């Protein structure tokens, strides 16, 4: 199957932009020297790009690139894998919370074109949504709590 | 995880048409990501993302002790609020200079940026699950069964929606947390501009705009319920990468001694919901919400509107 390299290349450029933002932001928030984190960031971005390529190669699977990225890192970091020590040591320099700020900054901006649609909804939708959010969260938490107790894990 | 499906055309096109007819056709992700002639949008959006991230990290993690528990405000929460505020319809409508930096072009481009910015986080989640893989597999039954807990939306929110006077909209609004897969299924089953579709779209929009803020607050506060942090962590995986991150990130900050395990459980649960969520809506959610509606509507539905109900 022919890959759309033009699109992948543009995605890679954006990934590099995101990587630079994370390096600068986590330097402010978590005092990680930018230079120290560069090798880890290169690995993280390489896996992210790999995930995009796999996603593009498997259009029928509908398995998102985010999941491919997680799965790849999961496999590389399992305790019995020879890669785990060096992989975890390097990617440790990329702080978990540090990767979240740019996502949410862009997410906030990206919903900017939904404000008008949102204004058309009534306050009832807001109230119902709050109960929907709470319902799924506590529904799952209660079931999980019970099952984990039965299993003796907690 | 489902965030990146936001740009999937089959969902978005119908949704956009239903909401506003006057809009020009949506650009595809490939068109949006084309640098040629659009370099200035990339530059402005990237700088905006950088500045917002820097400000958010500068504010840092804030903790507030409330009587019932601790609220942890993470930098990501500041980032989403600032990001939202600087868009053209909010502060941009008052401040002209802001509008010249963040116009609707940058807003449009921000969608694909989110999908790509999520990937480094995906990698980090993998590095959290990998070392804990043995415990995660041991907790397998809990992971699978808690997926059923997502039907809690129907038991809790449907009665509220009926009490507030909603009719068939209530079915769509409360069938699930209404992320992209649900939007697709409901759009196909009822049509996105049907009452059911409108309800789903309403909850979807609320989740998109307020979801991370709400779960960012709930994540840390929920510890006060006495439910085990690992159970709460699993609950945070609802099929949305950003909501899961907000819930588990603030939960992990509230219970730092279990931080890694919490994030690993949340990420695993979210991955699982990504796989099961769609089928759960089709085979469990839709039949159950319709069944409950039939029972509850005569009791809770507004009597004066009874004639209008189907």
Nearest residue in A to B93, CA atom: A112
Asked if B42 lies within 8 A of A64 by C-beta distance, the reply is no
Q: Per the CB < 8 Å rule, is A144 touching B210?
A: no
Low-confidence ranges of chain A (pLDDT < 70): 1
Query: Chain B window 37-56: which residues touch A at a Cβ cutoff of 8 Å?
Result: 42, 45-46, 48-50, 52-54, 56
Give, for all 310 residues of chain B, the pLDDT tens digit: 344 444 444 444 444 444 444 445 678 888 899 988 899 999 999 999 999 999 999 999 999 888 778 889 999 999 999 999 999 999 999 999 999 999 999 999 998 999 999 999 999 999 999 998 998 899 999 999 999 999 999 999 999 999 999 999 999 999 999 998 898 899 999 998 899 999 999 999 999 889 999 999 999 999 999 999 999 999 999 988 889 999 999 999 999 999 999 999 999 999 888 778 888 999 999 999 999 999 999 999 875 544 444 4
Check CB contact of B98 with chain A, cutoff 8 Å.
no
Is the CB of residue B1 less than 8 Å away from at least one CB of chain A?
yes
Residues of A in contact with B155 (CB under 8 A): 135, 139
DSSP, collapsed to helix, strand or coil, labels residue A8 as helix
Q: What is the CA radius of gyration of chain A?
A: 20
B114 touches chain A (CB under 8 A): yes
B122–A69 C-beta distance less than 8 A: yes
Using CB atoms, pick whichever of B112, B121, B139 lies closest to residue A100.
B121
Tell the residue number behind the tokens 């397998």, with chain if given: B140
Q: How far is B160 from chain A (nearest CA, A)?
A: 7
- Cross-chain CB nearest to B75 (options A24, A45, A97): A97
Do B6 and B243 contact (CB within 8 A), yes or no? no
- Cα B43 vs. chain centroid, distance in angstroms? 27
> Are the C-beta atoms of residues B270 and B128 closer than 8 Å to each other?
no
CA distances from B176 to A80, B45, B206, B272 (A): 38, 33, 13, 16
Task: Name the H helices within B3-131.
Answer: 9-19, 29-32, 39-59, 75-85, 91-94, 96-101, 104-129
Token pair belonging to B199? 């309800």
CA atoms within 13 A on the CB side of B301: 21
- What single-letter DSSP state applies at residue B301? S
Closest residue of B to A12, CA-based?
A: B116
Inter-chain contact A79–B131, Cβ cutoff 8 Å?
Answer: yes
Say if the Cβ atoms of A21 and B53 lie within 8 Å: yes
Which chain A residues contact residue B131 at CB under 8 A? 77-79, 84, 88
Confidence at residue B279, expressed as pLDDT on a 0 to 100 scale: 86
The alpha-carbon gap from A87 to the nearest alpha carbon of chain B, in Å, equals 9
- Which of B120, B227, B276 has the highest number of chain A CBs within 10 A, making it the mutation to test binding with A? B120
Q: How far is A36 from chain B (nearest CA, A)?
A: 17
Which chain B residues touch A145 with a CB distance below 8 Å?
A: 227-228, 231
- In this complex, is the C-beta atom of B288 within 8 Å of any C-beta atom belonging to chain A? no
């Amino acid at each position: 199957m022919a890959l759309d390299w033009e699109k992948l290349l543009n995605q890679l450029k954006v990934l590099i932009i995101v990587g630079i933002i994370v390096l600068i932001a986590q330097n402010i928030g978590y005092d990680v020297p930018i230079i120290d984190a560069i090798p880890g960031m290169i690995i993280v971005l390489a896996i992210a790009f790999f995930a995009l390529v796999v996603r593009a190669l498997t259009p029928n699977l509908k398995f998102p690139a985010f999941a491919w990225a997680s799965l790849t890192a999961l496999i590389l970091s399992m305790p019995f894998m020879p890669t785990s020590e060096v992989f975890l040591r390097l990617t440790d320099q990329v702080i978990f919370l540090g990767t979240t700020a740019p996502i949410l900054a862009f997410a906030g901006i990206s919903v900017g074109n939904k404000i008008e649609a949102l204004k058309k909804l009534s306050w009832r939708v807001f109230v119902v949504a709050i109960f929907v959010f709470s319902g799924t969260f506590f529904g799952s938490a209660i079931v999980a709590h019970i099952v984990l107790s039965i299993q003796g894990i907690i | 995880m489902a965030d990146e499906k936001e740009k999937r055309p089959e969902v978005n096109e119908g949704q956009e048409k239903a909401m506003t007819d006057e809009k020009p056709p949506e650009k595809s992700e490939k068109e949006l990501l084309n640098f040629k002639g659009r370099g200035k949008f990339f530059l402005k959006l990237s700088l905006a993302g950088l500045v917002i991230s820097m400000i958010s990290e500068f504010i840092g993690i804030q903790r507030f002790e409330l009587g019932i528990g601790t609220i942890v405000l993470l930098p990501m929460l500041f980032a989403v609020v600032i990001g939202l505020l600087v868009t053209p319809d909010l502060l941009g409508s008052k401040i002209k200079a802001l509008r010249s930096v963040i116009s609707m072009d940058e807003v449009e481009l921000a969608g694909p940026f989110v999908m790509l910015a999520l990937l480094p986080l995906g990698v980090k989640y993998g590095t959290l699950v990998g070392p804990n893989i043995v415990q995660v597999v041991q907790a397998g039954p809990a992971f699978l069964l808690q997926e059923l807990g997502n039907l809690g939306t129907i038991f809790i929110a449907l009665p509220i929606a009926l009490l507030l006077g909603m009719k068939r909209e209530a079915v769509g609004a409360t069938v699930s947390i209404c992320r992209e897969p649900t939007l697709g299924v409901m759009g196909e089953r009822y049509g996105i501009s049907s009452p059911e579709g409108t309800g789903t779209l309403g909850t979807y929009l609320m989740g998109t705009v307020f979801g991370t803020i709400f779960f960012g607050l709930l994540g840390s506060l929920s510890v006060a319920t006495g439910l085990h942090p690992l159970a709460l962590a699993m609950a945070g995986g609802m099929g949305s990468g950003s909501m899961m991150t907000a819930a588990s990130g603030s939960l992990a900050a509230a219970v730092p001694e279990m931080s890694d395990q919490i994030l690993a459980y949340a990420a695993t649960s979210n991955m699982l919901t990504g796989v099961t969520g769609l089928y759960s809506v089709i085979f469990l959610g839709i039949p159950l919400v319709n069944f409950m509606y039939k029972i509850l509507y005569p009791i809770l539905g507004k009597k004066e509107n009874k004639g209008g109900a189907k």
